[in-house]
Structure 1
Amino acid sequence: MKKYFIYAYLLIVAGCFTSCGNDEEVNVNDSIFATGTTEKETAFDQWLLENYIYPYNVRVKYRMDDTETDVKYDLVPAEYNRSIALMKIVKHVWMEAYDEVWGIEQTQTYVPKLIQLIGNVAYTESGMILGQAEGGLKVTLFRVNEIDVDNIDPITLNEFYFKTMHHEFTHILNQKKAYDPAFDRISESEYVGSSWYQIDDEEALQKGCISPYAMDRATEDFAEMVSIYVTNTAEDWEYWMRTAGNTGRPILERKFEIVYNYMKDSWGIDLNQLREIVQRRQNEISLLDLSTL
């Protein structure tokens, strides 16, 4: 089954992420491991039933399950309270944003049917895997245990979660309906595969790619265009266009035209409208109760 990954540089990020403390109160009955037997149902399980399974037919696995992970990575379970916070954020910023733009029936049809939460990141020679989409049916979100529920920073959340979620969902949509293959040929000679992490932001932009990771391959380029566009402001986008200069800007605008038309013609989604909705919902995170079920 084909898998898609999204990576990040090996940087230490401050803000909403913090090292895991040992002073957190833990309910020993809320096991974060899948034992192979019937686990005790938690309040979170009931909340997931009402907020994910009933409305979207989506199962969320926050307990560690070896059958859903790759044994070559050194992974740890997602912590219970941080899993609660993340799934509240995911529902508000990702799923309900699409509900607004095309209706819940469409969201029900195309969202992945399994979301797997992992406590840490998976490291490769290219960097950190922050998200993974598999066959249009499953999305894995990493780094759950570094969310600081008491100090939510939307900018950092944007980089490590919002962009990841929209990026991975774009892969899923691309698997359902193919985009114009002309997109793949625009920067065909610029794609560098796993060497993308050696390129900085400015160089990528001037070569006509919206991010260094977009230089991995065409499918990642396409997903980066969508995810970065909707999770950032119009002012941010214009700044990157100016940075791209006379060489990179025309390439990026040509790509974006294909991306915009694909989302509009294939899915009925106006990316400008989606961006407005996503931006508003990102700003509403501070109003969410991320702990009470």
Structure 2
Amino acid sequence: MKKYFIYACLLLVAGCFVSCNNDEDIDTKNSIFGSTEEGVTGFDEWLLSNYIYPYNVQVKYRLDDTETEVTYDLVPADYDRSVALMKIVKHVWMEAYDEIWGIDMTRTYVPKLIQLIGNVAYTESGMILGQAEGGLKVTLFRVNEINVGSISAAQLNEFYFKTMHHEFTHILNQKKAYDPAYDRISESDYVGSSWYQVRLNDALAKGCISPYAMDRATEDFAEMMSIYVTNTAAAWESRLATAGATGRPILEKKFEIVYNYMLDSWGVDLDKLREIVQRRQNEISKLDLSTL
């Protein structure tokens, strides 16, 4: 009896499959699965020529849920603002490194995916301006806040370039380690994930160049590098002066290690790199940020 019951079930299931495969019953006009691909835009072609071919870097400006954190409430990056931002990134960031050490080195070490997001992401520690994953991917948020008609270098540094130089420093550190003596300078002052509760002046007085630098030594090192190259000499000196008699000597000791690391390990003079970055920032107003 059990055997016949199984056979009967198999016949019933087979009948269901036959019914389901009846083309006459399929509503082909209202499939839940998309059947068309997004067309190639002029921006896609520009990215091919300016990022993929020369640097082997992919740029995603369309919102891709496979590349984003599902807990964030994110919106797509605006097309025109994405065009403007990637033109600026190429001129101010990518080509600055090309100029200091050659395009082959840039191509080798830059992250291979840049993702653009329209708005900001929030966590318990505050807003996220940028993210990097394993040296392979950088995500830039707040693209839709860019005023293409009135570009602010200070805003670009805060939203994007400080983050990009910071994360790039991590990549370089992963390839070649810096002097471990750096980690011991402020070892007792790091506060981990509570860094966002620290005010800038308090961080400077402790010998950390920013509140985020008080997270841990590796972040401290990357902050020193990124803030130095994205700020003018006057702005850097202002931070040192604010650090006072206690914080300034610590910052100067740290910077000496950072400077020597970049020069000895990578052949990069940070003073020269800062000069290049500052010059290229000043050239943004002359760039055509819309024509592809």
TM-score by length of 1: 0.86
The answer to whether residue 245 in structure 2 is matched with residue 238 in structure 1 is no
The separation in 2 between residues aligned to 1:141 and 1:266, in whole angstroms, is: 28
The answer to whether residue 271 in structure 2 is matched with residue 272 in structure 1 is yes
The answer to whether residue 289 in structure 2 is matched with residue 290 in structure 1 is yes
Q: Displacement, 1:106? A: 0.4
Q: Secondary structure at the match of 2:188?
A: helix
The separation in 1 between residues aligned to 2:281 and 2:180, in whole angstroms, is: 32
Specify the alignment match of 2:48 in structure 1.
Answer: 49
Matches within 5 A, 1:64-83: 64-83=63-82
The separation in 2 between residues aligned to 1:258 and 1:102, in whole angstroms, is: 20
Matches within 5 A, 1:66-215: 66-215=65-214
Gaps spanning 5+ residues in structure 1: where?
Answer: 1-34
Q: Read off the aligned partner of 2:212 and give its amino acid letter.
A: Y
The separation in 2 between residues aligned to 1:140 and 1:191, in whole angstroms, is: 26
Q: How many residues align?
A: 259
Specify the alignment match of 1:247 in structure 2.
Answer: 246
Q: 1:36/1:48 Cα in 2 relative to 1: closer, same or farther (>3 Å)? A: farther
The answer to whether residue 32 in structure 2 is matched with residue 38 in structure 1 is no
Q: 1:36/1:274 Cα in 2 relative to 1: closer, same or farther (>3 Å)? A: farther
Q: Secondary structure at the match of 2:290?
A: coil
The separation in 1 between residues aligned to 2:140 and 2:168, in whole angstroms, is: 12
The separation in 2 between residues aligned to 1:153 and 1:110, in whole angstroms, is: 28
Contact 1:129–1:142 (8 Å) recurs in 2: yes
Q: Displacement, 1:209? A: 0.2
Q: 1:131/1:36 Cα in 2 relative to 1: closer, same or farther (>3 Å)? A: farther
The separation in 2 between residues aligned to 1:213 and 1:36, in whole angstroms, is: 46
Q: Read off the aligned partner of 2:43 and give its amino acid letter.
A: F
Residues 29-52 of structure 1, C-alpha deviation per residue, up to 9 Å, x if partnerless? xxxxxx796321000000000000
Contact 1:158–1:231 (8 Å) recurs in 2: yes
Q: 1:205/1:41 Cα in 2 relative to 1: closer, same or farther (>3 Å)? A: same
Q: Secondary structure at the match of 1:66?
A: coil
Structure ranking higher on relative contact order (CA contacts 8 Å, 6+ apart) = 1
Gaps spanning 5+ residues in structure 2: where?
Answer: 1-33
Specify the alignment match of 1:218 in structure 2.
Answer: 217
Contact 2:141–2:159 (8 Å) recurs in 1: no
Specify the alignment match of 1:229 in structure 2.
Answer: 228
Specify the alignment match of 1:22 in structure 2.
Answer: none
